[in-house]
Amino acid sequence: MKLLYVIGIGPGKRSGMTLEAQSAIEQSGLIVGYHVYVDLIKDDYPDKEYYTTPMTQETERCKEALRRANEGTTVAMICSGDAGVYGMSGLILQLAEEYPEVEVEVIAGVTAAMSGAARLGAPLMHDFAVISLSDRLTPWEKIEKRLRLAAEGDYVIVLYNPSSKARSDYLMRACDILLEHASPETACGLVESIGRNGEQAQVLTLEALRNTSVNMFTTVFIGNSQTMISGDKLVTPRGYRL
Ligand code: SAH
């Protein structure tokens, strides 16, 4: 059988990877991925063959994974977090139509919203929306609209891709939109490098978040109107009577 696994490896450390993901990697001969993610697992699987491409060459990376699977090598396409959350599983499945003999198996991983929420406490106890601030593949106007509507709906909001070298002011712009509906005192949090060296978590108000600069390895949490800062934790009450 020709097999291509699309695997979410979790936030970073091997201990954050599911056993199912570990077993799929062990069964694969070739590991394909963005070099930053490949570097996270290479030491644990030194005998595998690796193929990496830079960030902007996702299509080439997926095509190579499919070509090699079609030739008979069991391939693992790895993504950080979950492969179906701003990852590669969608593109792989679209391109896989050209390779009917290759079976694609998607293996779930712990996405940054989940691992980050756990570090902060319990911010996602109620309805939440996940929005990426990257306008590489989505027009900025659409991102703004989603931010506005999520804030209007009083969702807890998780922001992925909050910054990059070319987009250093996007978090500030996003906060300004959220502040049209949300109070400046809204409880927020950010977590950087979850499960990796240099991990850091912080809770702060929306007003303070607006003036904070973050890097691309950060996931940002904006509470709903009920979310509280409790000690150093972020908690969104579910509504239970105490
Ligand atoms: N597939 C990934 C998301 C890829 S988009 C997942 O499910 O987690 C890249 C964004 O994800 C980053 O800009 C950051 O916002 C978030 N992210 C991914 N890994 C992270 C980590 N270890 N720590 C903090 N944020 C992370």
State the average pLDDT over residues 213-226: 97
What pLDDT, on a 0 to 100 scale, did the predictor assign at position 164?
84
Give the closest residue (by CA) to ligand 1 atom 12.
161
- Which residue, 14, 47, 10, 51, is CA-closest to 31? 51
In this predicted model, what pLDDT tens digit does every residue of 63-80 receive, in sequence order?
Answer: 999 999 999 999 999 999
pLDDT band at 191 (very low <50, low <70, confident <90, very high): very high
Ligand 1 atom nearest 163 alpha carbon: 13
Model pTM?
0.96
State the average pLDDT over residues 126-148: 97
What pLDDT, on a 0 to 100 scale, did the predictor assign at position 55?
73
What pLDDT, on a 0 to 100 scale, did the predictor assign at position 47?
94
State the average pLDDT over residues 229-234: 96
Ligand 1 atom nearest 134 alpha carbon: 13
Give the closest residue (by CA) to ligand 1 atom 6.
81
Answer yes or no: is pLDDT of 49 > 80: yes
Query: What would the DSSP string read from start to end of the chain?
Result: -EEEEEEE-BSSSGGGS-HHHHHHHHH-SEEEEEHHHHHHHGGG-TTSEEEEE-TT-HHHHHHHHHHHHHTT--EEEEESB-TTSSSSHHHHHHHGGG-TTEEEEEE----HHHHHHHHHEETTSS-EEEEE---SSS-HHHHHHHHHHHHHTT-EEEEES---GGGTTHHHHHHHHHTTTS-TT-EEEEEESTTSTT-EEEEEEHHHHHT----TTEEEEE--TT-EEETTEEE-------
**Ligand 1 pocket residues where CB is under 6 Å:** 11-12, 79-82, 85-87, 111-112, 116, 160-162, 191-196, 216-219
What pLDDT, on a 0 to 100 scale, did the predictor assign at position 127?
98
In this predicted model, what pLDDT tens digit does every residue of 11-43 receive, in sequence order?
Answer: 998 899 999 999 999 999 999 999 888 988 999
Residue 48 Cα to ligand 1 middle (Å):
25
Residue 178 Cα to ligand 1 middle (Å):
21
Residue 1 Cα to ligand 1 middle (Å):
32
pLDDT band at 89 (very low <50, low <70, confident <90, very high): very high
Ligand 1 atom nearest 220 alpha carbon: 15
What pLDDT, on a 0 to 100 scale, did the predictor assign at position 54?
76
pLDDT mean across residues, the chain: 96
pLDDT band at 167 (very low <50, low <70, confident <90, very high): confident
